[in-house]
């Protein structure tokens, strides 16, 4: 057994699957690390395995199921809404294959939010099926379930996701999302928040995740006028002072706010069905979930192209 070879060959796939199952880059990294650490001490009959990938995915899925079950209990006491931890890359893309695989159609940041509607078994089966295009027989063998049971789990997951998408707006890639992000940056950088008002759908929803680490809205803010008032209020307090950078959050167009060269907030938007307005805004301000944006920061005084907010 060559652990180095296994790690190089399978880590991108395992991390991608774990991230989609867990919605947390840190937890996904831990799951993959623990998996390979366990292989160093386990007596694995490698020569008898039909598929290294299937064996590694079985180990990973069991770990992720355990994490998801415990995470559900933790999130019941989480201060305010819980949002996934985004993976960051420049707006034009990074060229990193690990990031590029996250741009696949189904798994935008908004879709990761919808996945929170699923039970742990539903989420694991759905992610494995959609990420790897596994058949139900393969899923059954991998997860120790019946083929019909896996089919039912996946079918329930799809129904739940369809209902959630009706409430939240389309979660797939959208050319309108790019334009809305640019318009959002323009409105904020000019301080003309009446322009932001025009971008919002009447039934828009704003969801923020501060995790109890920073001040944030403990409940979703509903409606165009209330969201507009919220942004005006935090702008008056200087909370939006800094630099806005267009970025991608887990494959979806987004915005990063830097203050004194450090990540402060990340935003992404979901268009309404017609694509002409913003249906949802997700804001991540929990510092624990902005670690992946550290590379976009800079020391005060260093040059960097960005929109300056007055």
> Tens digits of per-residue pLDDT, 193-219?
778 788 899 999 999 999 988 888 899
175-309: CATH, from 3.10.20.30, 3.40.50.300, 3.10.450.50, 3.30.1360.120: 3.10.450.50
Percent with pLDDT over 70 in the chain: 87
- Give the class (CATH, top level) of 3-77+106-168: mainly alpha
The helix/strand/coil state of 76 is coil
Q: What is the largest CA-CA distance in the chain?
A: 66
Number of H-type helices and E-type strands within the chain = 11, 8
Residues of the chain with CATH 3.10.450.50: 175-309
Query: Which of 274, 277, 269, 272 is CA-nearest to residue 169?
Result: 272
> Tens digits of per-residue pLDDT, 162-196?
999 888 877 776 777 888 888 888 887 777 777 87
Q: Write the DSSP assignment of 186-242 as a string of letters.
A: HHHHHT-HHHHHHHEEEEEEEEEE-TTTS---SS-EESHHHHHHHHHHHHHTTTT-E
Please state, rounded to an integer, the average pLDDT across all residues of the chain: 85
**What pLDDT, on a 0 to 100 scale, did the predictor assign at position 147?**
96
> Tens digits of per-residue pLDDT, 64-97?
999 998 887 787 788 999 999 999 988 765 555 5
Does 42 have pLDDT greater than 80?
A: no
**What ranges make up the beta strands (E) of the chain?**
88-90, 200-209, 221-222, 242-249, 252-259, 262-271, 278-284, 307-309
| C-beta separation of 257 from 265 below 8 A | yes
pTM for this one? 0.86
Q: What is the band of 5 on the pLDDT scale with cuts at 50, 70, 90?
A: confident
> Tens digits of per-residue pLDDT, 93-119?
555 554 555 454 468 899 999 999 999
**What pLDDT, on a 0 to 100 scale, did the predictor assign at position 199?**
86
Q: Alpha carbon 287 to chain centroid distance?
A: 15
| C-beta separation of 293 from 247 below 8 A | yes
**What pLDDT, on a 0 to 100 scale, did the predictor assign at position 308?**
34
d(CA 171, CA 268) in angstroms, rounded, equals 11
d(CA 113, CA 284) in angstroms, rounded, equals 12
Q: What is the band of 35 on the pLDDT scale with cuts at 50, 70, 90?
A: very high
The mean pLDDT of 18-44, rounded to a whole number, is 88
Does 145 have pLDDT greater than 70?
A: yes
Does 124 have pLDDT greater than 70?
A: yes
The mean pLDDT of 220-231, rounded to a whole number, is 92
**What pLDDT, on a 0 to 100 scale, did the predictor assign at position 168?**
86
Lowest mean pLDDT among 40-44, 128-132, 224-228: 40-44
Residues of the chain with CATH 1.20.140.160: 3-77+106-168
Does 301 have pLDDT greater than 60?
A: no
């Amino acid at each position: 057994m060559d652990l180095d070879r296994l790690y190089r060959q399978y880590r991108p796939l395992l991390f991608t699957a774990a991230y989609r199952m867990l919605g947390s880059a840190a937890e996904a990294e831990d799951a993959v690390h623990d998996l390979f650490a366990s292989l160093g001490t386990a007596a694995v009959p490698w020569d008898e395995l039909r598929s290294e990938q299937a064996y590694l995915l079985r180990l990973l899925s069991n770990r992720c199921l355990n994490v998801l079950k415990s995470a559900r209990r933790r999130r019941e006491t989480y201060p305010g809404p819980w949002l996934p931890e985004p993976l960051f890359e420049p707006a034009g893309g990074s060229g990193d294959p690990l990031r590029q695989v996250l741009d696949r159609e189904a798994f935008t940041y908004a879709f990761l939010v919808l996945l929170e509607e699923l039970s742990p078994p539903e989420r694991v089966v759905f992610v494995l099926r959609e990420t790897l295009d596994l058949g139900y027989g393969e899923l059954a063998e991998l997860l120790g379930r019946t083929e019909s049971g896996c089919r039912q789990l996946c079918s329930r997951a799809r129904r739940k996701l369809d209902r959630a998408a009706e409430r939240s707006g389309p979660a797939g890639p959208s050319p309108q999302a790019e334009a809305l992000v640019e318009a959002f940056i323009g409105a904020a950088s000019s301080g003309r928040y009446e322009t932001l008002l025009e971008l919002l759908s009447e039934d828009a929803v704003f969801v923020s995740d501060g995790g109890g680490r920073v001040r944030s809205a403990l409940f979703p803010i509903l409606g165009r006028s209330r969201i507009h008032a919220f942004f005006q209020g935090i702008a008056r307090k200087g909370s939006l002072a800094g630099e806005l950078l267009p970025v991608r959050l887990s494959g979806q167009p987004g915005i990063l706010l830097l203050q004194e060269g450090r990540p402060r907030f990340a935003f992404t938007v979901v268009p309404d069905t017609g694509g002409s307005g913003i249906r949802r805004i997700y804001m991540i301000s929990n510092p624990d979930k902005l670690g992946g944006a550290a590379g976009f920061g800079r020391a005060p005084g260093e040059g960097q192209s960005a929109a300056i907010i007055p």
